[in-house]
Structure 1
C-alpha cells in the first residue's frame, strides 16, 4: 500500500476543509483585533499619547497575527486550487482593495513616529484606520456574495470563466445582502478590537473602547439576526442533485446541482450544527455584558467565541459547498470535487502536524512575554517605544 493511502481521500478532504476554517478563524481572532483597533483609533484616542497607547497594544504582534492570513491563502492555493483560481479571479478588485489597505498598516506603524509633526502622525493614523476598516468590511461582503453564489462557470477542460464585467467584479459585490454581511463582519471586529483595548490598555482609551464596543456588539447581533432571517426567506440555497462521490476525482462537472430551496435545510439534515449560531449569539451577548461591566479578559474570550460561532455558521450551513456558482450550479465547487490530489493533501497534513504545533507554541510564548497593559508611563518613560 502506498503510504498516503493509509488515510482515506474523503477524510483528508474534510480535514482540510476544517483546517481552512481553523486558519480563517485564527486570522479573525488574532489579526481581527488588530484591524478592530485600527478602525477604532479615531473614536477611542483623541490625543497623540492616547493614539500611541492604542497602537502599542497591537504594535508588537500584528505582523505575527497577519501570518494566519498568509497561511489561509496558502492553504487555499495548495489544498483547493480551483477555489483559489475562481475566488482570486472573480474577486480580483476586492482583493486588490484589501491588499492595498493591508499595505497601509505596516507603513503606518513604521512611519507615524518618524517625524514629530501632528499632521504627519494624523495622516498615518488615518492610514491605520483604513488598513483596519476596509478589510474588515470587504471580508464580510465577500462572504455575503459567496452565500448568494458567484457568477462563474467551468469549461469542459475546467477553465474558470467569470461571467461579469470588470467593474462588476467590484460594484457587483456591493448588493444589499452582502453589505449587511459586511456590517456583521465590520461590527464584530470592531467589538473584538474594543475587547482587546479593554484588556491591554487602561484609562480613557479603555473607557471609550468599552462604550464603543458595547454599541458595536449590539449592532453585530442585530445585523447577524437580520442576515439569518434574510438567508432563510430571501436567499436561495444550493444543493447537489446527483449521487455524492466523496473519494472521486476533483472534477466539479462530474456532479449535478441546482439553485433551489434554502440554505437552512442544512439544519434539518444536521441539527447539531445549530450550535454554531448559538455560540455566535451567546459569545457576542456575553462580550457586550463584559464590556459594560468592566470585564477585561472575559470580554476578549467571549468575543473570540462569537467569532468562532459566526464563521463556523457560514461553513457548516454551506457544507459541502465552498463556492457555489450562480450561473451554472453544476460548476459549483464542493468539498468533494475541488481539492488537490490524495497525495498532496496527505503530504500537507504531515507538514501541518509537524509545524502547526510549533507555530502555536511560539505564538503563545510571544503573548506570554508581552503580557500586561500598555500605560501612559510605558509611552512617555521609555525612549525605545517604537510606535
Structure 2
C-alpha cells in the first residue's frame, strides 16, 4: 500500500523537501527578521517605526511556521541528524531561542504603553530577535561545511568533543563568522526590499539606500566564502558505501577528507553551478532594481539569491548532511540517516495533502492584506496592536 516509491527515491525526495523548507524559511521569515534588524536605523520617529512593524505584523508568526516545520521535518525524516545536531549545537540553538522570545512579546506589547523608553526597548528587542537568529543560522552552515566534532560509537550514539559550556566558542570560528555575516546580510537586504515595497516614505527611501549599499557586499562576501572554501576548507568524499536503498547505518561507509571535495558536484553535474551563480547575481540584481525603484522585482531577485546561497551549501555537501571532523566515517548522509521507508512515505502523503492548503492560505492572507502602510493610516489607528 505504501511502497509506490522505492526507499532510495524517498531519501532523495526528503533531501529536496527539507532544503525547500529551509529556503521557504529564509524567504518568508528572513523578510521580517530583516525588517527587525533595520527597524532602529531606517525608522526614527515612533510613527515611522510603527509603519515598519505594520508591514510585517500580520504575517511574521505565520512566516515563523516555516522554521518550526523545518525542525519537525528534520526530526521525522532524519532522526539521527536531529539527535546529533540538537546536541552539538545546543548552546547556539538556545541562543536563537532566547533571541526569538523578543519577537512575539515585542510585536504584541510594544505599542501597549505610550512611553518612549518602553517602545525603544522593544524596538531593540525586535532587532535582537532578527539579527541573532539570522547570524546563528549562517554560523551553523559554516560549521557544517567544515565538519562537526562528533563521532558515533558502536551503538550509533553521537559523542562530542568538548563540554557543553564551551561548545559555543568553537562554533564562532572565522569561516563560520563569514557565513553568519552572509546570512545576516541577505536577511537584512530582503527585509529592506520589503520595506521599500510596503512602507511609506521616508522609511522606504532609507531602506532603499540600505539595500543599494548592502546587497553588493552580500554578493562579495558569498564570493569570498567560495574562494575560502576552495583554498582553505577540506571537503568530504564517500569512497565506499552500501546501496542507497539499504537500511540506515552510518558506520557502514568509508569517507575521506579531500581538498576541493565540496566542488565535486559541479564537475559531475554542471547544471548545479546555477545555484552559486544565483547566489552572486541575486543580490546584485536586487540592488540594481532597488536603485531603479522596482522593489517588487528586487524582492524576487533577493529571494532567488537566497535560494542560490542555501542551494549552493546543500549541493556542495551532497550527499552529506552533517559531516564529522573527528571521524569522517561517522558523517551523516541522506542515504544513512533517514527514517524508515514507511515513515518517509506517510510524511510525503501528508505533505502532498497539506502543503498546497498552507501555501494557498498564505497567499490569500498576503493578497487580502496587501497595500502600502502609510503615516496617515498609522495616525488613524493609534491604538492598534502594532
Q: Under TM normalisation by the shorter chain, which class is it?
A: over 0.9
Q: Counterparts of 1:55 and 1:221 in 2: how far apart (Å)?
A: 27
Q: What SS is found at the alignment partner of 1:67?
A: helix
Query: Cα offset for 1:6?
Result: 1.7
Task: For 1:30-49, list aligned pairs within 5 A.
Answer: 30-49=28-47
1:132-169 alpha-carbon deviations (Å, 9 max, x no partner): 00001110011000000000011111111112222332
Q: Counterparts of 2:217 and 2:278 in 1: how far apart (Å)?
A: 17
Task: For 1:184-203, list aligned pairs within 5 A.
Answer: 184-203=182-201
Task: Pick from 94, 97, 115 the counterpart of residue 95 of structure 2.
Answer: 97
Unpaired runs of at least 5, structure 2: none
- 1:214 corresponds in structure 2 to 212
Tell me if the contact between 2:248 and 2:338 (Cα under 8 Å) persists in the aligned partners: yes
Q: What SS is found at the alignment partner of 1:246?
A: coil
- 2:379 corresponds in structure 1 to 380
- 1:62 corresponds in structure 2 to 60
Q: Counterparts of 1:54 and 1:63 in 2: how far apart (Å)?
A: 16
- 1:364 corresponds in structure 2 to 363
Calculate the TM-score normalised by the size of structure 2.
0.98
Q: What SS is found at the alignment partner of 2:84?
A: helix
Task: Pick from 120, 126, 130 the counterpart of residue 128 of structure 2.
Answer: 130
Q: Counterparts of 1:250 and 1:377 in 2: how far apart (Å)?
A: 60
Q: Counterparts of 1:271 and 1:277 in 2: how far apart (Å)?
A: 12
Query: Cα offset for 1:316?
Result: 0.7
Task: For 1:107-146, list aligned pairs within 5 A.
Answer: 107-146=105-144
Task: Pick from 245, 248, 261 the counterpart of residue 246 of structure 2.
Answer: 248
Task: Pick from 188, 202, 205 the counterpart of residue 204 of structure 1.
Answer: 202
Task: Pick from 145, 154, 157 the counterpart of residue 156 of structure 1.
Answer: 154
Query: Cα offset for 1:266?
Result: 2.0
Q: Counterparts of 1:268 and 1:286 in 2: how far apart (Å)?
A: 27
- 2:26 corresponds in structure 1 to 28
Query: Cα offset for 1:243?
Result: 3.7
- 1:343 corresponds in structure 2 to 342
Tell me if the contact between 2:241 and 2:252 (Cα under 8 Å) persists in the aligned partners: no
1:56-79 alpha-carbon deviations (Å, 9 max, x no partner): 100000000000000000000000
- 2:175 corresponds in structure 1 to 177
Query: Cα offset for 1:281?
Result: 1.6
Structure 1 residues 82 and 275: alpha-carbon distance in aligned structure 2, compared to 1, 3 A threshold: same
Query: Cα offset for 1:244?
Result: 4.8
What stretches of structure 1 move > 4 A for 4+ residues in a row?
A: none
- 1:232 corresponds in structure 2 to 230
Q: What SS is found at the alignment partner of 2:308?
A: helix
- 1:330 corresponds in structure 2 to 329
- 2:303 corresponds in structure 1 to 304
Mean Cα deviation higher: 235-244 or 89-98:
235-244
1:184-231 alpha-carbon deviations (Å, 9 max, x no partner): 001111100001001111210000001111111011011101000000
Q: Counterparts of 1:299 and 1:232 in 2: how far apart (Å)?
A: 30
Q: What SS is found at the alignment partner of 1:257?
A: strand
Unpaired runs of at least 5, structure 1: none
Tell me if the contact between 2:286 and 2:297 (Cα under 8 Å) persists in the aligned partners: yes
- 2:291 corresponds in structure 1 to 292
Query: Cα offset for 1:279?
Result: 1.3
Q: Counterparts of 2:298 and 2:375 in 1: how far apart (Å)?
A: 23
Query: Cα offset for 1:384?
Result: 5.4
Calculate the TM-score normalised by the size of structure 1.
0.98
1:245-297 alpha-carbon deviations (Å, 9 max, x no partner): 21011110111111122211221122110010111222111100011121121
Q: Counterparts of 2:104 and 2:241 in 1: how far apart (Å)?
A: 49
Query: Cα offset for 1:383?
Result: 4.3
